[in-house]
Amino acid sequence: MTIDDSHTGESPQPTPGPVPGPIPGPIPGPIPGPIPRPGPVPRPHPPTQAAALRPMVARNDPRRFGRVAEDGTVYLITSSGERVIGSWQAGEPDSAFEHFGRRFDDLATEVTLMETRLASGTADARKVKQAAAALAESLSSAHVLGDVDALAARLAVIADHADETAQAERARREEHRAEQTARKEALAVEAEDLAANSTQWKTAGDRMRAILDEWRAITGLDRKTDDALWKRYSAARDAFNRRRGAHFSELDKERAGAREAKERLCARAEELSGSTDWAATAAAFRDLLTDWKSTGRASKDIDDALWNRFKAAQDTFFAARNANNAERDAEFQANCEAKEKLLAEAEKIDTSNAKAAQAAFRAIADKWDAIGKAPRDTAPELERRLRAVEKKIRDAADAGRVDPEALARAEQFRTRAEQFERQAEKAAAAGRDKEAAEARASAAQWREWATAAAQAVAKKR
């Protein structure tokens, strides 16, 4: 006798004795193998690991959920009644229970693996749901002995949990996509700002390259959005490169113009370097330096070379001028010493004899003029002292020709006029207008007398 099951994994064996009558009812066809599911089906872990992954469930007792008829027909008992799952004619009924119970255990193991993977968050919830649905659909025709209703309930829970997990995953994916989109949007905006406004060419160019590196590290966008943002960044980068290229092209033109202008300034400076017209040439060099500073820069090496050339010509002129000034300063210092000796003589002139004093002063003045200039910082003081001697001699001569009483009278009249003027000012300040007017009239009278007296003295001279 044989069993009607192509998946028992056992060789057909003869059954002692006659077959107990025909098997009632049609025997189902070959029991299908494992239920097809999308993707690779995880293999059960070794016993030590499987125990850790499976939830704690009661051990399957196939006798509670099935029976083997005398003719070898195997029945599964479910909440909806009995159904034939196969025919066992390869041995004792206990072997049938063991065989179909193991097949139920295999299905239970698959369910446990689904639960474990879903709980760990490592599985694709959509695929787990599809596998659970396929397995749940196969339960109605599964050739197993066990609590199929409980297995169906667990599969229903898996499907519900998979829906929730899939929704959560979808939300996370959408959130991630939005974050990544926002990051690329920000990078595109930054690139567009650099392209439109930045003039820090090196810094902006480095940032453009850094943006590209950041861009490549950002993933998870939908293709359409990613392409649109990439076009924005690419357009901004191209615009920046064009603007930078135009800038440096213009800069090259400006540098060429600056080089020509500075070469002309160098040539002019070299022409002036030998001039001995110190004041005019120094002013010309100041003008050249002003023009140099207002002229743009050539390339660094050329600009440095031209500046060294210009400065050499400038230094040549000013070194010559400084040498000339040093020589002149030495001459002026000698003049200063000679004039101080003349001053010492002049300040000793005896003014009691007016004519002799005047003659001596004229001789000293002639020598003074012949000596020449003194240093700028001492010349004013020397001139002041000489004028003081001249005034002293002149005043002595005038005093000998003028009546002292006439001079005293003129001074007295002037003093009285000043007294009345002060009285008028005080009265006016105090609001005494009449008194002020009288004082002014008196001051005018005394001022007139003082003027007449002074004129009389002047005539006598």
Of the listed ranges 21-35, 261-275, 321-335, 422-436, the least confidently predicted one is 21-35
Please tell me which residue, 31 or 272, carries the higher pLDDT value.
Answer: 272
pLDDT classification of 457: cutoffs 50, 70, 90 = low
Of the listed ranges 129-133, 278-282, 323-327, the least confidently predicted one is 323-327
The predicted pLDDT at position 148 comes to 92
pLDDT digits (tens, 9 = 90+) for 368-423: 888 878 888 888 988 888 889 888 888 877 666 656 677 787 788 888 888 888 88
Question: Does residue 41 register a pLDDT over 50?
Answer: no
Quote the CA–CA distance of 346 and 267 in Å, as a whole number. Answer: 55
At 115, the amino acid letter reads: E
The predicted pLDDT at position 33 comes to 38
Mean pLDDT of 146-169: 88
pLDDT digits (tens, 9 = 90+) for 185-232: 999 999 999 999 988 989 999 999 999 999 999 988 889 999 999 999
Beta carbons within 8 Å of 249's beta carbon, 6+ residues apart: none
Of the listed ranges 13-27, 65-79, 340-354, the least confidently predicted one is 13-27
Mean pLDDT of 156-166: 86
Mean pLDDT of 17-39: 35
The predicted pLDDT at position 459 comes to 61
Question: Does residue 17 register a pLDDT over 60?
Answer: no
pLDDT digits (tens, 9 = 90+) for 349-371: 888 787 888 888 888 888 888 88
The predicted pLDDT at position 5 comes to 47
Question: Does residue 50 register a pLDDT over 50?
Answer: no
Chain-centre distance for alpha carbon 359: 85
Q: What global pTM score does this model have?
A: 0.39
Residue 264 tokens, joined: 């002309």
The predicted pLDDT at position 401 comes to 63
Taken in order 306, 309, 315, 321, the sign of the CA dihedral is: negative
Residue pair 395/357 in contact (Cβ under 8 Å)? The answer is no
pLDDT digits (tens, 9 = 90+) for 283-332: 998 998 998 888 888 788 888 998 998 889 889 989 998 988 787 788 88
Nearest to 349 by CA among 395, 401, 393: 393
Question: Does residue 51 register a pLDDT over 50?
Answer: no
Question: Does residue 11 register a pLDDT over 50?
Answer: no
pLDDT classification of 147: cutoffs 50, 70, 90 = very high
State phi, psi for 205 to the nearest 5 degrees. Answer: -65, -40
Question: Does residue 43 register a pLDDT over 70?
Answer: no
Return the percentage of the chain with pLDDT > 90, whole number: 27
pLDDT digits (tens, 9 = 90+) for 96-125: 899 999 999 999 999 999 888 888 877 788
User: Long-range contacts of range 445-454, CB-CB < 8 Å, 24 or more positions apart?
Assistant: 445/417, 446/413, 446/414, 446/416, 446/417, 446/420, 447/413, 447/414, 447/417, 449/413, 449/417, 450/410, 450/411, 450/413, 450/414, 450/416, 450/417, 453/406, 453/409, 453/410, 453/413, 454/410, 454/414
The predicted pLDDT at position 400 comes to 61
Question: Does residue 20 register a pLDDT over 60?
Answer: no
Quote the CA–CA distance of 21 and 89 in Å, as a whole number. Answer: 12
